[in-house]
Structure 1
Amino acid sequence: MATRSEGSADSAEFDAFYAATAKRLVATVYAMTGDLAEAEDAVQEAYVRAWQRWERLTGEGDPLPWVRTVASRLAISTWRRTRNRLRAQLRHGAAADAPELSPDRVALVAALRQLPLQQRKAVVLHHLLDLPVEQVARETGSTNGAVRTRLSRARKVLGERLSDTSAHTAEGTASHG
């Protein structure tokens, strides 16, 4: 990392910020994108960019919303660029082995992936990060009313999709028991 004139104080403050926020931010971006590796890459790049602007960011207040916005934009931008390439890979070859995830987590990520991007962002920021509607609106450049509408529509769709998944899982368990 670049050195600063107050290097050790800035560095210690940044290191503490990173340690306190990075894991949750990766989980947030993963929930938005459904791709853990991409989430980790985007978050890492966002922290690099934050370090480059650290004095300004901390002078303006809490740097976390800025880092979260940058990370989500980086991840979504990369996702859009690679979407067609990934679709082609899925059509022509088996998916790589992934670590075992709980059926509930797999169902949630799959359901989130099917939401339009703005609804998905609103759900992740509001329900997974417990941010108030007003802050979600600021971070997404929307109005409070638009965020509430997105949340309402997303909850309805997620409720339907996740209850369908639960019913299938229960049927599968009953038939195997």
Structure 2
Amino acid sequence: MNGRRTMLTGAEDFDAFYTATAKRLVAAVYATTGDLAEAEDAVQEAYVRAWQRWDRLVREGDPLPWVRTVAIRLAISTWRRTRNRVRAHFRHGPPSDVPGLSADRVALLDALGELSAEQRRAVVLHHLLDLPVEEVARETGVSNGAVRTRLHRARKVLGERLADPLATAGHVRGASHG
């Protein structure tokens, strides 16, 4: 009976962990890949894998970095496999019954898509998940300086791509009429 109580507590702990972390993790993976369905699938699979190792992950400390790393790796792996299929889809246009995304969301996803995978991951972990540079470095296996460099370069690209659209439109409008 004592082993059963421990198992129930582990399941309850896992459920609480899942409830507290899943939504934010989906958002982070989505920001990394730009594909909500893939993000949801990758996160779900990462939690399945975490449950299979739950006791070990808890003994080693905070399981969230492990789950996040697995989810992002799964999503990126799937993204790489389907990249050509997606490019073909965009060349021919989306099906007519698919609702559009807001212009801001499209601009952000396009801008994130221009970053390298390493820069995108650093931006998501640091800015969307509010992890300190030191934790991003640990999780990605690089130095603090490398994380800062990736963030700096990513911010520069994002800043250029996400510049005020009205200012850009006004500049183009003035140039075409002038």
Give the corresponding residue for 1:95: 94
In structure 1, runs of 5+ residues without a counterpart are: 172-177
Query: 1:90: how far off?
Result: 2.6
Alpha-carbon deviations, 1:34-73, whole Å to 9, x = none? 0000000000000000000000001111100000000000
Q: Is the 8 A contact 1:107 1:165 kept in 2?
A: no
SS in 2 for 1:16: helix
Give the corresponding residue for 1:143: 143
Alpha-carbon separation, structure 2, partners of 1:65 and 1:42: 14
The 1:84–1:53 alpha-carbon spacing in structure 2 relative to 1, beyond 3 Å, is: same
Alpha-carbon separation, structure 2, partners of 1:64 and 1:98: 34
Give the corresponding residue for 1:86: 86
Query: 1:84: how far off?
Result: 1.2
The amino acid across from 2:138 in the alignment is R
Give the corresponding residue for 2:37: 37
Alpha-carbon separation, structure 2, partners of 1:15 and 1:169: 49
Alpha-carbon separation, structure 1, partners of 2:164 and 2:84: 28
Query: 1:9: how far off?
Result: 0.8
The 1:37–1:119 alpha-carbon spacing in structure 2 relative to 1, beyond 3 Å, is: same
TM-score by length of 1: 0.87
Give the corresponding residue for 2:175: none
Q: 1:3-152 alignment to 2 at 5 Å?
A: 5=4, 6-91=6-91, 93-96=92-95, 97-152=97-152
The 1:161–1:51 alpha-carbon spacing in structure 2 relative to 1, beyond 3 Å, is: same
Q: Is the 8 A contact 1:108 1:162 kept in 2?
A: yes
The amino acid across from 1:158 in the alignment is L
User: Which has the greater radius of gyration?
Assistant: 2
Query: 1:113: how far off?
Result: 1.0
Q: How many residues align?
A: 168
The percentage of counterpart residues that share the same residue type is: 72
The 1:89–1:47 alpha-carbon spacing in structure 2 relative to 1, beyond 3 Å, is: same
Identify the range of structure 1 (16-25 vs 82-91) with the bigger mean alpha-carbon deviation: 82-91
CA RMSD of aligned residues (A): 2.0
